[in-house]
Amino acid sequence: MSGLLVVLSGPSGVGKSTICGELVTKHPGITISTSMTTRPSRPGEKEGEDYFFVTREEFEQRIKDGYFLEWARVHGNYYGTPYDKVREKMAEGWDVLLEIDVQGALQVRNVFKEAVLIFVAPPSWQELETRIKERGTEEGEVVNERLRVACEEMKACSSYDYLVVNESLEEVVDKVASIVIAERCRVKNNS
């Protein structure tokens, strides 16, 4: 049986990376797709594991070559999902998890109708603001820009199949895993 394509997105700082890491650890059969980006690596990030880091020129050539399932320019950098890697993993029976932004998720929906889109929301706007500021990876204007974009992204949640609120890591991981299990039980996914 072919695996599912599950898209997890929501505003910056909502905890998507942490949720994805816990899902993969606790639920065999789920794997995370590695995205490609032009942004510089952050401390502790590993090439080919966290992202494939490439130059702007390399990324733009791959756009022209139709290499990506989805791609977007976010906060001045490109991000994209290599389509061939996703197809390979799904053909092997893996449920492939994409941790991408809202505009990327909507591109996936247009290209791959069977994708399961899950929007992760913060428990409150104040909590999101605190999380973004406490990450310490950005400063002043970048934080303000992320909050502005987050406000716009929150409006897109009605385009998703599911909405989960990240109040507790354990609960949100259980909810996302339950969604994956339910989707695997759909008749259309078993015929």
Residue 3 is encoded by which pair of tokens? Answer: 């695996």
Pairing state between β 35-37 and 77-82 = antiparallel
User: What integer is the mean pLDDT of 85-97?
Assistant: 94
Give residue 71's domain range: 5-190
Question: Residue 178 pLDDT more than 90?
Answer: yes
* CATH number, residue 37: 3.40.50.300
The more confidently predicted of residues 135 and 48 is 48
- In the chain, where do the E strands start and end? 5-9, 30-32, 35-37, 51-53, 68-74, 77-82, 95-99, 116-121, 162-165
Tally the domains of the chain.
1
